[in-house]
Amino acid sequence: MRVVSGTAKGRPLKSVPGTGTRPTTDKVKEAIFSMIGPYFDGGDCLDLFAGTGGLGIEALSRGIGSAVFIDKEPKSIDTVRENLKTAKLEEQAEVYRNDANKALFALEKRGRKFDLVFMDPPYRHKFGDELMVMMTAKGLLRSGAVIVLEHESGYEYPELIPGFIQLRHAVYGETAVSIYRYESGAETDIDKDEGV
C-alpha cells in the first residue's frame, strides 16, 4: 500500500496489524479518486472507520485542506498516526479514537462541516445510509459534499437516500463503491446523470 498521487506520492503506508482491517487496495483507491477528483483545492474531509487512514491521507496528498480520522480500534489509530507521519501530513490532520455514532455527536458539538466523507465500515455492518442521514441531521455536510461508501459487492445501498443523489456505483471484485452527493434542500428524485 502506498500513496498513489499528489504531494506524498509513492510514500509507503502500513497496514493495521492483525486481520480485522481490510485496507482499500491501491487499484480501488485510484478508481475512487478518478471518480471524485482526482485533485482538490482545499476543503475538509472526514475519514470515518479510517483503518489505515489510506483514503483520508490520499485526499490530503491530492489537495484537501484538512482531514479528521476516526476509528474505534487502538491499533488503527496508531497506524493512522504512523502513516500520517510517513506522508508528512500530520499538520493537516486530527485523529480520534471513537465509535462512529459518538464521533458524529462530538463533531456536531464542535460545529464541524465536511466537503468529502469516506466510509468503509466492516462489511457486516449495513448502516452507511443511516450514518449519512444522521450527518445531514447534525449539519455536518456542506451542500454538494461527496460521500464515498465502500461496502460488500453483494449488498446494494439504495440509489436515493433522503438528501442524497447517487452519482456512481462500481464493483471491484468483493468490494463495491457507491458515491453520493449531498444536495442541501434539493429533491432527491432528480435524474442522477444530470449532475455527473
DSSP string across 85-111 = HHTT-GGGEEEEE--HHHHHHHHHHTT
pTM for this structure?
0.91
What is the C-alpha separation between 145 and 147, in angstroms, rounded? 7
Per residue in 47-84, pLDDT (tens digit) is: 999 999 999 999 999 999 999 999 999 999 999 999 99
Per residue in 139-171, pLDDT (tens digit) is: 999 999 999 999 999 999 999 899 999 999 999
* The CATH fold of domain 26-111+121-143+167-182: Rossmann fold (3.40.50)
- Smallest CA-to-CA distance from 110 within 122, 99, 123, 94 is with 94
Q: What percent of the chain stands above pLDDT 90?
A: 83
Antiparallel, parallel or unpaired: β 141-152 and 114-119 = parallel
Residue 115, Cβ density class (10 Å: 0-12 exposed, 13-18 middle, ≥19 buried): buried
CB of 149 closer than 8 Å to CB of 119: yes
- For the chain, give every domain's residue range: 26-111+121-143+167-182
